[in-house]
Amino acid sequence: MAWRDNLRQASFRGVKFNVDSSGMSIGRRIARHEYPQRDIPYPEDMGRRAREYKVEAFVLGDPAGDNDYMVPRDALIEAIEKAGPGQLVHPYYGTVAVTVFGEVTLSESTREGGMAKFTITFLEAGKQEEPKTSDDTEAKLADQVNACDASFAKDFSDKFSVDGLPDFAVDDALGQVDDLMALPDVDLGALDWIRADPTSVLTSLLPENLRNSLDAPLSLAQGVLGLIGGAQKWLSFFNFSEGLAESASAVTATTASRIAVVNNQTAFSDLVRGGATSNRIYKLATTQPATTVEAQALRSEIVQRADAILFSDKVSQATSQAVVQLRTVALQHLASNTVALPSLVSVTPQQVRPAVVLAHDFYGDAWYAQGRADDLVSRNAVAHPGFVPAGQPLQFVSE
């Protein structure tokens, strides 16, 4: 089929015309940044330019009929002068939404009687989009973590006390803090950096201050929460909390001092679990998942960690409300990071093949640039990338 067979009848707002020649302006919008004392400029890409269609058009009368060229001329003038965008059928580029841009020139002559010529520039209409506003969900999440920690600290200060207790009860409380600071996820190193900052909440945990901190449980709680917040992992904190809670529940308290020890252990266990939970939820919600399956796993753990506190019969009303809000904000922030995520597809190869071959078969020529073979190996824990076993399902990321 010749190129002339693909040409369309030109029209604007339904008014037909003929095209003598046409051009189009295309490209990118580039902001050029040139800095003093620097030889290398920086071009900043500002997006695609609006396309301009420059058309040399003409209309003719009907030499065999009674209609002269002035009828289609006037119809095209009316279409050009009408406000707003309209539909242009371009002989080369098809149907596009445009608006007439700038000055249109119309020329007529007795030498070329029966014809009117137009020089028109059509500008791509596009669409008007108002600036979009969105909530800073990560900032809200960080604020809610702080609100939860403040509530955990308040609960601890209400329940924990060594006032009037014998030495063994005080030593037990000191031992709890020492054991916490000895966990593998805690790495304070030399304590001089804490001593150099008297405003740090961690000063309440210094050996020389710890005994006095027991008499100021709110300050002690803030120090413990600061310790947990500075860690990179939280599993040992959860294990510590569970072990302490089990130890407290196994004690048969028969005296006032023993009851106070159990209550202090329970309060300390709840504080550690709360701090670990809020930090873990923040970490989960701010993780960027690679697939919908990973996003679902993150959502599930967020709900699980929050519910572990909410279903406790010892949680206060204020803490319960703070944790519910933390769960809500965390799920909202995670949802904002999981728009249009790819899913996983399970494929079972029928013969042993290299990972690069499987990746090429599934993803096509883009497999190398996208690192799909390495992802396939790591995602499926393939022992040797040159020999992917047959008969075992493999997980492929599907866009």
Going residue by residue through the chain, which has 399 residues, state the pLDDT in tens, using 9 for 90 and above. Answer: 577 777 888 999 888 999 999 999 989 988 888 878 778 888 888 888 889 999 999 998 776 655 688 888 999 999 999 988 888 989 888 888 899 999 999 999 888 878 899 999 999 987 766 656 667 888 999 999 999 999 999 999 999 999 999 999 999 999 999 999 889 888 877 788 888 888 889 899 888 999 999 999 999 999 999 999 888 888 899 999 999 888 888 777 778 888 998 999 999 999 999 999 999 999 999 988 877 778 889 999 999 999 999 988 788 999 999 999 999 999 998 888 776 566 667 778 888 888 888 878 777 777 677 777 888 788 788 888 888 888 888 777 776
How far is the CA of 339 from the CAs of 132, 336, 342, in angstroms? Answer: 16, 6, 9
Residue 11 lies in a domain: yes
Residue 266 contacts residue 290 (beta carbons within 8 Å): no
- The range of the structural domain enclosing residue 33 comes to 3-124
Gyration radius of the chain's alpha carbons: 36
Q: Which residue has the tokens 């960690």?
A: 305
Q: Is 355 a member of any domain?
A: yes
Looking at the fold, whether 148 and 295 belong to one and the same domain comes out as: yes
Q: 383 and 286 share a domain?
A: no
> Does a structural domain hold residue 132?
no
| Bridge partners for 25 per DSSP | 52
315 and 204 inside one domain: yes
Please check whether residue 129 lies inside any domain of the structure.
Answer: no
- What's the CA gap between 385 and 274, in Å, rounded? 43
For 125, other C-beta atoms within 10 Å of its C-beta total 17
Q: Is the pTM of this model over 0.75?
A: no
Tell me how many domains the chain contains: 3
Last residue of a domain, one of 290, 320, 336: 336
Closest C-alpha to 228, from 170, 280, 300, 176: 280
Same structural domain for residues 117 and 165?
no
Using the 8-state DSSP alphabet, how is residue 337 labeled? T
Nearest to 28 by CA among 44, 14, 9, 12: 44
